[in-house]
Amino acid sequence: MSRRHTVPPPQPGFPPHVFLSSRMTHRPKKLLLLRLLPNAWVTTHGPRRERTLYLSFDDGPHPVHTPVLLDLLAEHDARATFFMIGAHAERHPELVQRIVEAGHTLGNHSYSHPQFGTLALSAQLAEVDRTDRLLTAADGRQRHSFRPPRGVLPRPMLLHFIRNRRRIAYWSYDSLDYSRLPALELTRFAHDRPPRDGDIILMHDDGDTAQQMLRSLLPAWKDAGYRFEALPPEPPARKRGDAANARRGDDAAARRGERGR
């Protein structure tokens, strides 16, 4: 996901909260459809522990906004998952290390945040693999849950991840913090329509909207009895023989995809 989504502006003559309430939702239809898939393939909710929410942040780390957000999370004893753009992680390794040392989990959000729908499978996987290597240097984990840029999920890539028993990490509750609407209105909207047990909350740490919202939301959610945990880490890769079979399946899927264009 990215703050670079296109969201229509408020309608002239209507206050932002009227537009927000009538035209936007924390749970768009696409997410409802994805929930029909097994959670081991496409993660649309966290472990269903009582009164637990899973904060997630895309598009960082950012040298200005991420440190402020980390301080805020520490203040509320909250853990989260940071889906990082590899190029940003490469530029700010000290922030990546700080995130790990604070007990948060790293996620993969590609290396350069490209338009995945325009790339061949090999180029998509190169983006994922390059970022995994950068994140491994910080947390020692071989693989990391992957969240595709802008939520674009091409079928050959999905099949590759299924064959390799690797999760595509989506979300179940969209904070809308990329919408360019005022943080106050977005916060009010979230208070009116709060998350539920096990929700994965989509936010971004390449701007200050998320931290503005969370200054109000975190205390309110804590008062409602919620705690905040990171998503479980990605399991290790399969054995070499299994991976080779998966690659052959990927090649066949890619050929079918090319014929279908």
Provide the CATH number for the domain around residue 249: 3.20.20.370
Residue 29 forms part of a structural domain: no
Tell me the HSE value of 63 on the side-chain side, using a 13 A CA sphere. Answer: 7
Residue 64 forms part of a structural domain: yes
pLDDT > 90: percent of the chain: 74
Residue 14 forms part of a structural domain: no
Identify the domain containing residue 56 by its residue range.
45-260
For position 49, what pLDDT does the model report? 83
pLDDT digits over 74-127, tens only? 999 999 999 999 999 999 999 999 999 999 999 999 999 999 999 999 999 999
What is the rounded average pLDDT of the residues 163-187?
Answer: 95
Tokens (6 digits) for 210: 């998320």
Query: If you average pLDDT over every residue of the chain, what do you get?
Result: 87
Written as one letter, the residue type at 62 is: H
204 catalytically annotated: yes
What is the rounded average pLDDT of the residues 8-37?
Answer: 63
Q: Is 180 left (phi over 0), alpha (psi -120 to 50) or beta?
A: left
How sure is the predictor about 239, in pLDDT bands with cuts at 50, 70 and 90? low
Question: Under 8 Å CB-to-CB from 146, ≥6 apart: which residues?
Answer: 107, 108, 109, 110, 128, 161, 166, 167, 168, 169
- Greater pLDDT, 82 or 243: 82
Catalytic residue among 26, 45, 58, 250: 58
Residue 155 forms part of a structural domain: yes
Q: Based on the structure, what is the number of domains in the chain?
A: 1
How sure is the predictor about 8, in pLDDT bands with cuts at 50, 70 and 90? very low
Residue 6 forms part of a structural domain: no
For position 148, what pLDDT does the model report? 97
Residue 203 forms part of a structural domain: yes
Catalytic residue among 204, 205, 206, 250: 204
17 catalytically annotated: no
pLDDT digits over 52-74, tens only? 999 999 999 999 999 999 999 99
